[in-house]
Chains A and B, each alone.
Chain A
Amino acid sequence: MKQKLMSSVQIILLLPLTAMGLTGQSYPGKPKIIRCRSLEKETFSCWWKPGSDGGLPTNYTLFYSKDSEEKIYECPDYRTSGPNSCYFNKNHTNPWTTYNITVTATNEIGSNSSDPQYVDVTSIVQPGSPVNLTLEAKTSASITYLWAKWSPPPLADASSNSHMYHYELRLKPEEKEEWQETIPVGMQTQYKVSRLNPGMKYVVQVRCILDLGEWSEWSSEKHIQIPSEELPPEKPTIIKCRSPEKETFTCWWKPGSDGGRPTNYTLLYSKEGEEQVYECPDYRTAGPNSCYFDKKHTSFWTIYNITVRATNEIGSNSSDPHYVDVTYIVQPDPPVNVTLELKKPMNRKPYLVLTWSPPPLADVRSGWLTLEYELRLKPEEGEEWETIFVGQQTQYKMFSLNPGKKYIVQIHCKPDHHGSWSEWSSENYIQIPNDFRVKDMIVWIIVGVLSSLICLIMSWTMILKGYRMIAFILPPVPGPKIKGIDTHLLETGKSEELLSALGCHGFPPTSDCEELLIEYLEVEDSEDQQLMPSHSNGNPSKKGKTTPKETDSDSGRGSCDSPSLLSEKCRESRALPSTLQTQDVRDVQENKAVKRSWETQCVASERKTLLSNSESTKSSTWPAAQLPDNQPPMFAYHSTVDARKITLITTNVNVAPVLVENEEKHQSRYSVTETVPGDMEEQGEMENLHSKTEQTAVQVKQNRPNEKSPFLNGTLMDYVEVHKVKQDEEPAVLLKHKENSGKTENYTIPGTSKEYTKVSTVVDHNILVLMPDSRVQHTPMSQEPAKEASQNLQQGQAEKNMSYCLTAPSDCKRETSGSEYMDPSSFMPSFK
């Protein structure tokens, strides 16, 4: 009581002082009782945690009372359980009592008490962990057991060893996290664990408990490796053997599984031809699981038989033998001292020289080991390496690297024979300097300036003379314009010019009667056998229609003279006929000559030249019947074409059969012209054309009866139809060719009594130019010959070499007798 009063007075007295905060010190903070434990129910300890000490040395006192007694006791033992603890020994411990414990912290200023803790000994019992846990793996009858042994937790009081603990054991495989098994052991301090996997590692713990209270903590872990089945170790394998410089070598092996038992490895070898077995001289130099053979133990050109043996307590196992000949297992170290040098020769691009040294161990100087090098490089960002084989030299010049880029280069080497490549040397970086040559830059600058100037100029001119330029560059699309017709001309009304523009020569015809307007029929002997009508130029009746067609379509006749050319000639020679025709027809000679020349002119193809010297062959037929007196008009046309058939149609209306011959007579003759004497048939066929009126069958015989004239083939051209091309104009005869052979038909051309009996020219190879006979006009003649003579003047044949020489015979001409035509007979002799 007194003590209580005193302490409380002290506290009251101290309070104001501390409240005033003198000197910054204060009474201590409140301690806290952490826990109270009893190890064996007979003693117990309490531990507390101090609060703040207020800066002054603090004293801690523990006071307790039992049950509801008022007596307060102080802690009997502050030391046994350590600092900040109180140990209640046996004498002070009553198991069925509730203790009311408080801890007071006191310092100079004041004191502070913890909250009271009510402790029932029986409820705080927790033994310590068992100790001395030992594990042992034993194998009996090929089953492996684990023996676990431990000791009970220690007690301060050795006499209380009779306590009965119950134990518990737990184990798990080492790598697992969860405990595989928790086994109640009972009161023993040992235990045998079975059902363990051999070869695995396990972790074991134990704990204990008294008849009441809590379990102790788990003891510390104990590890054990369960040995695998009792087997000898697995067979090791030899990985490889290598010699870095062809003077020593090393072999490496890989162990098999050893089953957890300690295993020993030994390497044994023997040489070829020797029986003795040696053991590896050096296990260490090259690292674990290796064997190093130094120079003394290395022999060349001998085969080593090497094996590795693994041994453990159970037994041993040997690897497969490995045969090695040192000369074939050389793998050098990578080259060293890789250096780069940039060389800049004059007048050439700079290049890079890469040099390196052979690896230090390799003895290249004595020639014992010869190395070949290979380097690879790639741009830094590149994917693929470019590998270059260098050979035995130790330098390399690189020319073709891109300036400004960064390259990675590596080198490796190998013996020149029987070896393997070394590792690649460490990466070397090359930075190619940017090679801006001043010259190049200047050139580019000049080019740039010039082009910009040009662009400026162009744009300016475009702007200033925009339209003109555009018109110059992009010419306007021309409107339709007929050639020759100038709209201005039309407007002015000059028809002459207009018509001349249109190509009508001589239209309106000038009153040049001398000019013979002769229509020229071009008789063409072609496969199509169509004659193209040749229009008369300047035909007065036709305006604008008679456009000379100078189609020079290449029919492949192969004639030297194109029809157009020929027509040119014809035109040129038109003057001739006119001149000729002015002559007296009876002036044969002149005619002859002229005609001949004219004829030769107009006859184009040499082959088909009518002037062939073959007797009976080609002879241009000229409209023979120019007999002034009653000569029936007849004409023979002759189409000469390369190796084509010629149909010779001659009609002789009023003439007795005439043999086509070179006769001088001015009788109606028929000259049979024949084309190329190539594959012509014998022109046996004559067209017999009978005129309707007093016909005399005119038989045109071939000039050369003997000769084989490939004249009339099967496809004999049969000109049987004559059409008047232009009804209202001067005669123009359209001879239609009929593919008949040897038909003779009689046709009449209604209305027209024109007979084309005059052959004006023979154009080209198969064009016979016929002109109408003026005299014939009056006599009704059978048109047949005319028809037949005339060739088809259709213009469908683009391929035909047709030329048109057509001149409308003038009336004047007609007046003149005999001057309009040429007497072919006069030419005959020339043909012979």
Chain B
Amino acid sequence: CPTAGMLTPNGKEYAQKIPREELTYVILKLLHAWKEPLSHFNQHMEHHQELPDDSLSKAKQISKMVHELETGIEKVTEKMQSMGIISNSLHGMASSEAAGFSSTNEANMMSDSDFIHCFKRDSNKVQCYLKILKCRIMPENSC
């Protein structure tokens, strides 16, 4: 997996223990880490003639969604930092540790199904973290 080296909370307790900033940072890191592999994957898919058109468009859609999600979370993070909900301490970390994933070579060696499996898992992680973060920050909102 391209994000195999990343350290992420591995359960509910861990996700609840770490500070909110860190959780946010982890989310952003994950999203950022997938941008390039996804685009590589899309290029790779385009060369495949036998795949149906749905898959291609779906893949493009997904990478677009990831990008949008990342942008959105960044905005929300900024807002939260400005509102003082979370601190600014880790703000710098996001940009410095951008390269959290293995090189593209390794990504190419992976099979398509493995790649998709990794992505599925990481997107699930992001979803879970976001939910926990949401409930931590705004507990009254259907939590």
Contact = CB atoms under 8 A, between A and B. Distances in A.
Contact of A366 (B10, B121, B124, B143): B143
Interface string B106-143: 00000000000000010011011001101110010011
Nearest to A298: B11
B10 A299 contact: yes
Contacts of B142: 392
Query: What bracket does the count of chain B residues touching chain A fall in?
Result: 20 to 34
A560 interface: no
A417 to B, nearest CB: 7
Interface residues of A, number: 21
13 contacts: A247-B11, A247-B12, A295-B11, A299-B11, A301-B121, A325-B121, A327-B121, A327-B124, A327-B128, A365-B143, A367-B134, A370-B131, A392-B142
A216 B4 CA distance: 81
A418 B120 CA distance: 11
B124 A367 contact: no
B8 A366 contact: no
A787 interface: no
Contact of B124 (A363, A365, A368, A417): A417
B16 interface: yes
Contacts of B139: 365
A300 B127 contact: no
Chain B residues touching A, majority SS: helix
A691 B139 CA distance: 121
Q: Interface centre among B12, B13, B125, by most A CB within 10 Å?
A: B12
B132 A418 contact: no
A364 B12 CA distance: 12
A298 B124 CA distance: 17
Interface in B1-23: 4, 8, 10-13, 15-16
Contacts of B136: 366-367
Interface string A326-358: 010000000000000000000000000000000
A636 B134 CA distance: 106
A366 B11 contact: no
Interface of A: 246-247, 273, 295, 298-302, 325, 327, 363-368, 370, 392, 417-418
Contacts of A299: 10-11
B12 A363 contact: yes
A301 B10 contact: yes
A298 B14 CA distance: 12
Contacts of A392: 142
B102 to A, nearest CB: 14
B67 to A, nearest CB: 21
Contact of B10 (A273, A300, A363): A300
Given A301-B121, A365-B143, A246 B127 contact: no
Question: Most chain-A Cβ atoms within 10 A of its Cβ — which of B128, B132, B134?
Answer: B128
Contact of A301 (B125, B135, B143): B125
Contacts of A246: 12
Given A246-B12, A325-B121, 4 more contacts: A295-B13, A301-B124, A327-B124, A367-B131
Nearest to B15: A368
B127 A417 contact: yes
Contacts of A247: 11-12
Interface centre among A298, A301, A327 (most CB of B within 10 A): A301
B71 to A, nearest CB: 22
A364 B10 contact: no
Contacts of A295: 11, 13
Contacts of B128: 327, 368
Given A327-B124, A392-B142, A368 B8 contact: no
B45 to A, nearest CB: 24
A300 B131 CA distance: 16
A491 B132 CA distance: 111
Nearest to A299: B10
B18 to A, nearest CB: 14
A273 B124 CA distance: 19
Contacts of A302: 10
B127 A366 contact: no
A595 to B, nearest CB: 86
Which interface residue of B11, B13, B16, B134 has the most chain A CB atoms within 10 A? B11
Given A327-B124, A418-B124, A365 B8 contact: no
A323 to B, nearest CB: 11
Contacts of A300: 10-11
B16 A366 contact: yes
A367 to B, nearest CB: 4
Contact of A365 (B13, B15, B127, B135): B135
Contacts of A301: 8, 10, 121, 124-125
A104 B135 CA distance: 99
A366 B17 CA distance: 12
Contacts of B127: 417
Given A301-B125, A417-B124, A417-B127, A368 B12 contact: yes
A299 B11 CA distance: 6
B111 to A, nearest CB: 16
Nearest to B123: A417
Contacts of A418: 124
A621 B67 CA distance: 94
Interface string B65-104: 0000000000000000000000000000000000000000
Nearest to A302: B10
Contacts of B134: 367
Contacts of B124: 301, 327, 417-418
A390 to B, nearest CB: 14
Contacts of B121: 301, 325, 327
